[in-house]
């Protein structure tokens, strides 16, 4: 009996280790930062190396900022930040329910919040569960292939005036 328990313990331990490595790998893949420069409350991020449907997470004023280059299977949206021919979601990575950090599931093109099961689509719109509003778009300015977080450029002002940023 005890050897059977030992076997079960080892088998379960093995599953946990494999799960842990997979989770770490998934985290690494989803949390790759892009080249960025921080100065006086602004973070300048170079988007030219962004890969489609891979979430990049930058930091701006202590908050995680999600940067997601849309792939061809992802619907375009008036909240998209357009840089050259590419469409990006740029949003504060905090769930609008109670502030947890949602994870991105690229195969489903969705963010899921582990705290209470809220979900957002790849444009940041709330699509399931308790979140009351979309992921918030921070002030940004497009500068060539770069985006300056913290500076309200004309593209951001237009979105804000149209009520699309929050």
Q: Which residues bind ligand FES (CB under 6 A)?
A: 95, 97-98, 100, 113, 115-116, 118, 129-131
Closest to ligand FES by CB, 79 or 97: 97
d(CA 91, CA 66): 5
Please say whether the dihedral angle defined by the alpha carbons of residues 15, 57, 72 and 129, taken in this order, is positive or negative: positive
Cβ nearer to ligand FES, comparing 118 with 150: 118
Closest CB to ligand FES among residues 16, 133: 133
Report, in Å, the least distance between residue 37 CB and ligand FES: 31
Residue 1, both tokens: 């009996």
**Closest separation between CB of residue 94 and ligand FES, Å?**
8
Q: Supply angle C-alpha 142, 72, 78, rounded to 5.
A: 45
Please, which residue, 100 or 136, has the CB nearer to ligand FES?
100
| Cβ at position 98, least distance to ligand FES in Å | 4
Helix, strand, coil: what percent of the chain each, to 5?
25, 35, 45
CB of 91 to ligand FES, least distance (A): 14
Q: Which is nearer to ligand FES, 44 or 123 (CB)?
A: 123
Closest approach, Cβ 129 to ligand FES, in A, equals: 5
Work out the number of other CB atoms within 10 angstroms of the CB of residue 36: 19
Look at residues 63, 50, 13 and name the one whose alpha carbon lies nearest to residue 146.
Answer: 50
Task: Write b or e for each residue in 131-143: b if 16 or more Cβ atoms lie within 10 A of its Cβ, otherwise e.
Answer: beebbebbbbbbe
């Amino acid at each position: 009996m005890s050897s059977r328990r030992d076997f079960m313990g080892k088998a379960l331990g093995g599953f946990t280790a494999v799960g842990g490595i997979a989770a770490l790998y998934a985290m690494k893949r989803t949390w790759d930062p892009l080249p960025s420069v921080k100065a006086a409350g602004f973070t300048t991020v170079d988007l030219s190396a962004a890969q489609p449907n891979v979430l990049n997470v930058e930091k701006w004023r202590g908050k995680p900022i999600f940067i997601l280059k849309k792939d061809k299977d992802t619907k375009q949206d008036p909240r998209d930040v357009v840089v050259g021919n590419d469409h990006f979601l740029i949003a504060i990575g905090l769930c609008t329910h109670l502030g947890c950090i949602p994870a991105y599931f690229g195969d489903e093109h969705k963010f899921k919040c582990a705290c209470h099961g809220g979900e957002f689509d790849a444009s940041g719109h709330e699509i399931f569960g308790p979140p009351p509003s979309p992921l918030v778009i921070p002030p940004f300015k497009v500068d060539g292939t770069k985006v300056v977080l913290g500076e309200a450029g004309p593209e951001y002002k237009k979105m804000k005036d149209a009520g699309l940023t929050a």
